[in-house]
């Protein structure tokens, strides 16, 4: 007979992951790129953020989605309706989709409360093309 699952029991390997999908609009150009993307152009970026936590609160949530969305929007305010090349974080890095995913990951990680971590950020420059960033564990 199988043991009943007890949600409050903690296993060393148990984690919860939450996905929040959002978007922002911004322009960029890729320095040194041989093609159209070297010219200034824009995207309606889609962003998938995966948050990870090991514990549930008294309501059974890792974090309230409302709070998660607020924190993510605070980060994306820096990017929204901007020329990404003009942002300080892209002074030394090309604003590629890969670097945008990393920048969002790092900025969000600084804002999260204890017990909550960024597992992965995927930035989509189109419906078919995106890049993800995560830390190796």
The pLDDT score that the predictor gives to residue 14 is 82
In this predicted structure, the answer to whether residue 118 has a pLDDT above a threshold of 90 is: yes
- Residues 38, 81, 86, 129: which is the catalytic one? 81
Q: Catalytic: 135? A: no
Q: Both tokens of residue 30?
A: 């890729």
Which CATH superfamily hosts domain 16-133? 6-pyruvoyl tetrahydropterin synthase/QueD (3.30.479.10)
Q: Catalytic: 129? A: no
- Of the pLDDT bands very low, low, confident and very high (cuts 50, 70, 90), residue 45 is very high
- Residues 17, 23, 31, 37: which is the catalytic one? 37
For the entire predicted model, the pTM comes to 0.88
In this predicted structure, the answer to whether residue 53 has a pLDDT above a threshold of 70 is: yes
Where do the domains of the chain lie? 16-133
């Amino acid at each position: 007979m199988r043991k009943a699952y007890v949600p409050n029991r903690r296993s060393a390997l148990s984690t919860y992951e939450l996905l929040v999908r959002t978007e922002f609009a911004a322009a960029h150009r890729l320095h040194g790129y041989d093609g159209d993307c070297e010219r200034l152009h824009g995207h309606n970026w889609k962003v998938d953020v995966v948050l990870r936590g090991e514990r549930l609160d008294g309501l059974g949530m890792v974090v309230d989605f409302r709070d998660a969305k607020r924190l993510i929007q605070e980060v994306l305010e820096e990017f929204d309706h901007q020329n990404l090349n003009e942002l300080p974080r892209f002074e030394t890095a090309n604003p590629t989709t890969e670097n945008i995913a990393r920048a969002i990951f790092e900025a969000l990680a600084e804002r999260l409360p204890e017990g909550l971590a960024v597992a992965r950020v995927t930035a989509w420059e189109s419906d078919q093309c995106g890049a993800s960033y995560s830390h190796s564990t």
